[in-house]
Amino acid sequence: MASHNLETSPYVSDEVRQTTCYMCACRCGINVHLRTGSDGKPKVRYIEGNRDHPINRGVLCAKGSAGIMQHYSPARLSKPLLRTGDRGSGQFKEIEWDEALNLATEWLGKVRKQDPKKLAFFTGRDQSQSLTGWWAQQYGTPNFAAHGGFCSVNMATAGIYTFGGAFWEFGPADWERTEMFMIFGVAEDHDSNPIKLGISKLKSRGVKVVAVNPVRTGYNAVADEWVGITPGTDGLFVLSIIHELLRAGKADLDYLIRYTNAPWLVIDNPGEANHGLIARNKAGKPLVINRKTGKAVAYDGKGAKPNLKGRIKVDGVEAVPVFELLARKYTSADFSPEETAEITGVPAEQTKRIAQELAAAAFEREIVIEQPWTDMKGERHEKMIGRPVSFHAMRGISAHSNGFQTCRTIHLLQILLGSIDCPGGFRFKPPYPRPVEGQPKPHAGAKPGEPLPGPHLGFPRGPQDLLLEDDGVSPKRLDKAFSWDAPLAAHGLMHMVISNAAAKDPFGIDVLFMYMANMSWNSSMNSGSVMDMLTAKDDDGEYVIPKIIYSDAYSSEMVAFADLILPDTTYLERHDAISLLDRPISEPDAACDAIRWPVLEPDRDVRGFQSVLLDLGARLELPGMTNEDGSAKYSDYADYIVHHQRKPGIGPLSGWRGKNGTETGRGEPNDDQLKKYIANGGFHMEEVPHEARYFKHANAAWQDFAVKMGFQDAPIENVFQLYLEPLRKFQLCAEGKADPQPPATHRHRVLTCFDPLPNWYAPFEGAGISTADFPHHAITQRPAAMYHSWGSQNAWLRQIHGENTMYIPAEICDAAGIEDGDWAWITSHHGKIKVPVTRMNAVNPKTLWTWNAIGKRKGAWALDDNAPETKQGFLLNHLIHELLPPKGDGLRWSNSDPITGQAAWFDLRVRVEKAEPGHETSEPQFAPQKSPVAPAPDVVDYGKEWTE
């Protein structure tokens, strides 16, 4: 037998550096193995998951594993660029950083001095919003937000208003204990690896997973039961489940009385200005009916035994408990599974059975943990008793114009079953819960040369907190957030920024400043028109948006549309704080935060955007970023991360605070903080005391912990809001009973959509066009192995998703005479695209779908002009307008949720026609942009120097 030369114990790497992944928003811990390359410099040998990390516990997804190709991508920008050709052409010259920063300072300084609202600063895949938001606040423009408005603001806002949390980074299921798990509208999403780990745990315990999604791929494929729902009807389906549960008497009344506003009294005084408001005593405390005395008493009075039904006169006005209103509403026949089946596409039998299974899991498989705890009223409980059903929802729910209300229906279902933050249910991740009472209100202001009085984004308590000009109608913000268009727009409306700026509605701007947002392509609705808006000129020949500054690490489609490019670093070359002030990475049992640090030095003339922003802040002499002598307060972002204090003792990172690094949460800055993080694998983890791990919304030990850690300065009461009074206040304004009053054009939709009890209404696009002309729905899903456009420059990931196809249900194919592999025209009220077709059975019969953001524009991402991404790949975005079909009132109605302004991507309605054979190229095609980076190599044989 021949002997084979086999080394089973080869050398692996010189050094392992632990940092945080940035290949998507999941933010896993990674071990970056470095090994000397052929040039004698350290090079990435291998990236694996960090086993100790709370998020991913050692695993790593396809994107994270392709980090090498991202870090060494040929699409990396290498030097600041100044536009030389027409906007959109991609013609630039390289300039030095000094010149770039001087130019930016000049443009931004002028605006700040004259009229700061003429700057719009929006960030996309930004993971440093607590810095970028603070910067914008110090600058003084009201026009700041990140991309939440077109991402999942419905999810976040509905959750915060209802129970002080939400899905995703706000909380997961109790994977170890839950007995039934339901996911709604979840394809691949931000919580990528934790969800996979979680579902795996459920599978190994034999726990049933039910997936509600028009498309049966990914998580929905492995689920034990699939509900192939029609898009935009999930709320109605959930209300039918609630109908069944209530009719069967399956609600946790004790939980409702203790933790929710179910017993609160609602004034029943039709036609009057207080109709539908919560009845309160003189101290402003909501009232309930005391079962013992039959009298109205403050809800939190000692010894009160609140009733959930009844009718009482309070100050001469009738009032009824929330629960009675709720029970009457949802037990009505309108919500019976038989009644809703036609609309939702879910057979009544299935809805009923799922309701029964939920009830059985919640009430017959009660979980008891022998852990005493004390609630905020001082009552001691010997055990933690849980209703082990849990839920998760994501983009499929939020990206509809009824998404806010739909999210509320899911939370209502959770709460009726008593499953929020109980053993086996949904669990809050620190620093959550954080109810509206613990959240800021939105701020505008915009006085020349002055910072805003508070943060831009927040949670209005009612119409009085809207950001309106003195006329009570005109928005103060460019994106019209917190106006009558989108009163609870807690994440802003990034998808409206360019459109509104181009239309000068409500006003024009001078500088558009964006970071990591591919707005001329996949991050915008109506991408073709957005390109026109970015290049539109006034009568005087000047660009309508006069200056555009953009920062990105890569040659994205957006680069060509900027005047000044500030090249960013890759994720392995930068500092970042994954901060508890921002979007943290905590686990339910531990408060966690993390850093990124330069595990490799840049080999290009690029700078981390956050450092650049602080530099610009110092040049603009913004408060907080400048010392008294005018010098920069922070040398770079790392300096800021360590030394910035939002409040005394509270900074971006919670670990190793205090002079000696011995404090956690609160404490003075510690010069060695980053070193400590690096030594600990790039993250910090503070365990939540056992007593504080469940019922955090009402748990005294949790409140103590939250105060100690600096999440809040005092205990915050968190009563789950089944009945959302702020919405009723908006309705009263629309009824003309209170001020400010919305314009007549907006009244109808406020009255119909702002129901204080979770409700369902048909998505707007379908209601505004003829469904006979556009009978089908079309949606996208994000593939697990590709993150937005980012993946296309990645030599490995683009082999997996180099082109996309439209998956069309067999029924629709047959009706249109389309066969597998044919091409088809997909038409919406707004546009038409030509796409390749794959026939599919495992999909809702009315719904077409495709992978998101695979199609690319020629000239971007260092790809060949004939790349499959440009020729076969396509975007659904071209079919989706940022505005609703015109209603004839002359207004530009945003294609968004009327409550939060969330972009309604998935409201899209289409029709399908077979395309003539031949010319198999997707439409529309756009002229190539000139690539701002050098041509990419033909061959990649990564690791050759170590394998010879």
Q: Is 327 in the site for other proteins (CB under 8 A)?
A: yes
CA gap 355, 792 in Å, rounded: 43
Query: How far is CA 459 from its chain centroid?
Result: 16
Please identify which residue in 14, 15, 38, 51 interacts with other proteins, judged by CB under 8 A: 51
Interstrand relation of 776-781 and 909-914 (parallel, antiparallel or unpaired): antiparallel
| Smallest gap from residue 551 Cβ to other proteins (A) | 23
Between 543 and 946, CB nearer to other proteins: 946
What tokens appear for 219 in the block? 């998580």
The C-alpha atoms of residue 704 and residue 873 are separated, in whole angstroms, by 53
Report, in Å, the least distance between residue 737 CB and other proteins: 29
Looking at 198-206, 575-583, 655-663, 712-720, which segment touches other proteins (CB under 8 A)?
198-206
- The residue (of 133 and 306) whose beta carbon lies closer to other proteins is 306
- Given 457, 734, 863, 910, the residue binding other proteins (CB under 8 A): 863
Q: Would you say 717 and 376 are in contact if contact means Cβ atoms under 8 Å apart? A: yes
By beta-carbon proximity to other proteins, the closer residue of 290 and 398 is: 290
Q: Which stretch binds other proteins (CB under 8 A): 457-465, 557-565, 800-808, 877-885?
A: 800-808
Q: Kindly report each contact of residues 740-745 with a partner whose C-beta sits within 8 Å and lies 24 or more positions away, as own/partner.
A: 740/463, 740/466, 740/468, 740/472, 740/473, 741/472, 742/473, 742/484, 743/473, 743/484, 745/889, 745/891
Please state, as a whole number, how many other Cβ atoms lie within 10 Å of the Cβ of residue 677: 26
Say whether residue 61 binds other proteins (CB under 8 A).
yes
Segment contacting other proteins by CB under 8 A, of 8-16, 162-170, 509-517, 653-661: 8-16
Query: Quick check: 325 binds other proteins (CB under 8 A)?
Result: no
74/651 with CB nearer other proteins: 74
Question: Taking contact as CB under 8 A, which single stretch among the options 441-449, 471-479, 885-893, 938-946 is the one that binds other proteins?
Answer: 938-946
Binding of residue 308 to other proteins (CB under 8 A): yes
Residue written as token pair 């000696």:
660
- Least distance (Å) from other proteins to the CB of residue 680? 17
Beta bridge partners of 144: 121
DSSP code per residue over 608-632 = -HHHHHHHHHHHTT-TTTB-TTS-B
d(CA 825, CA 915) in angstroms, rounded, equals 6
Which positions from 646 to 685 touch other proteins by CB under 8 A, shown as an x/- string? Answer: ----------------------------------------
User: Per rule CB under 8 A, is residue 943 in the interface with other proteins?
Assistant: yes
Q: Which is nearer to other proteins, 243 or 607 (CB)?
A: 243
Candidate list 154, 307, 524, 670; residue touching other proteins; CB under 8 A = 307
User: Does 856 interact with other proteins (rule: CB under 8 A)?
Assistant: no
Residue 946 as a binder of other proteins (CB under 8 A): the answer is: yes
Looking at residue 173, the DSSP 8-state letter turns out to be B
Task: Please choose, out of 140-148, 169-177, 619-627, 931-939, the segment that lies near other proteins by the rule CB under 8 A.
Answer: 931-939
When binding is defined by CB under 8 A, the residue of 145, 242, 287, 785 that contacts other proteins is 785
Q: What H or E segment, with its residue span, contains residue 837?
A: strand 832-840
Stretch that binds other proteins, among 60-68, 128-136, 380-388, 639-647 (CB under 8 A): 60-68
Sheet with 42-49, strands from edge to edge, namely: 15-20, 29-36, 42-49
- 352-381: contacts with other proteins (CB under 8 A): 352-353, 355-356, 359
Site string (811-840) toward other proteins, x via CB under 8 A? ---------------------------x-x
Nearer to other proteins among residue 289 and residue 618 (C-beta): 289
CB of 455 to other proteins, least distance (A): 35
Q: Which of residues 208-267 bind other proteins (CB under 8 A)?
A: 208, 216-228, 244-250, 253-254, 257
The minimum distance between CB 605 and other proteins, in angstroms, equals 22
Contact flag: residue 439 with other proteins (CB under 8 A): no
The three-point CA angle 678-679-680 to 5° equals 90
Using the contact rule CB under 8 A, the part of the chain among 55-63, 463-471, 688-696, 769-777 near other proteins is 55-63
Taking the complex as a whole, the smallest distance from the CB of residue 280 to other proteins amounts, in Å, to: 23
Q: Verify binding: residue 866, other proteins, rule CB under 8 A.
A: yes
Q: Which of residues 390-419 bind other proteins (CB under 8 A)?
A: none
Please identify which residue in 134, 170, 237, 323 interacts with other proteins, judged by CB under 8 A.
Answer: 323
Q: Contact 263/291 with Cβ under 8 angstroms?
A: no
Residue 842, interface with other proteins (CB under 8 A)? yes
Residue of 467, 862, 883, 903 that binds other proteins (CB under 8 A): 862
Count CB neighbours of 342 within 10 A. 11
3-state secondary structure of 157: helix
Please enumerate, as own/partner, the contacts of 475-480 that have beta carbons within 8 Å and a separation of 24 or more.
Answer: 475/506, 476/117, 476/142, 476/444, 476/446, 477/142, 477/143, 477/444, 478/117, 478/120, 478/142, 478/143, 478/506, 478/507, 478/509, 479/120, 479/143, 479/145, 479/149, 479/901, 480/506, 480/894, 480/901
Using rule CB under 8 A, residue 622 touches other proteins: no
Within 13 Å and on the Cβ side, how many CA atoms surround 263? Answer: 28
Nearer to other proteins, 17 or 434 (CB): 17
Check residue 334 for interaction with other proteins (CB under 8 A).
Answer: no
Does residue 936 bind other proteins (CB under 8 A)?
A: yes
Q: Is 361 helix (H, G, I), strand (E, B) or coil?
A: helix
- Asked if 346 touches other proteins (CB under 8 A), the answer is yes
Is 493:481 a contact under the CB 8 Å cutoff?
A: yes
* Complete DSSP assignment for 42-103: EEEEEEEE-TT-TTTTT---HHHHTHHHHHT-TTB--S-EEE-SSTTS--EEE--HHHHHHH
Residue 200 sits in the site that holds other proteins (CB under 8 A): yes
- Span from 232-240, 485-493, 564-572, 798-806 in contact with other proteins (CB under 8 A): 798-806
Identified binder of other proteins from the candidate list 22, 484, 796, 905, rule CB under 8 A: 796
DSSP secondary structure, 3-36, as one string: -----SS----SEEEEEE--SSSS--EEEEEEEE
Q: Which two tokens stand for residue 460?
A: 């209005």
- Please tell me the number of Cα atoms within 13 Å of 199 on its side-chain side: 21
Matching residue, tokens 């689920």: 223
Q: Which of 554, 567, 596 is nearest to 70 (CA)?
A: 554
Q: How far apart are CA 475 and CA 492, in angstroms?
A: 12
Residue 311 beta carbon to other proteins: minimum distance, rounded to whole angstroms: 11
* Stretch binding other proteins (CB under 8 A), from 100-108, 188-196, 516-524, 662-670: 188-196
| CB-count exposure of residue 552 (10 Å: 0-12, 13-18, 19+) | buried
Centroid of chain to Cα 703: 26
First to last CA, the chain: 25
Which H or E run includes 480? Answer: none
- The verdict on 343 binding other proteins (CB under 8 A) reads no
Span 503-522, contacts to other proteins by CB under 8 A: none
Peptide bond into 648 cis (omega under 30): no
User: Rounded CA gap, 933 and 604, in Å?
Assistant: 12
Q: Please, what is the minimum distance in Å from the beta carbon of residue 374 to other proteins?
A: 19
Cβ distance to other proteins smaller for residue 196 or 878: 196
Among 112, 125, 329, 798, the residue binding other proteins under the rule CB under 8 A is 798
134 binds other proteins (CB under 8 A): no
Segment contacting other proteins by CB under 8 A, of 39-47, 163-171, 417-425, 447-455? 39-47
* Neighbour count for residue 372 (Cβ, 10 Å): 13
CB of 138 to other proteins, least distance (A): 40
Number of residues in contact with other proteins under rule CB under 8 A:
116
For residues 417 and 530, which CB has a smaller minimum distance to other proteins in the complex? 417
Is residue 778 a contact residue for other proteins (CB under 8 A)? no
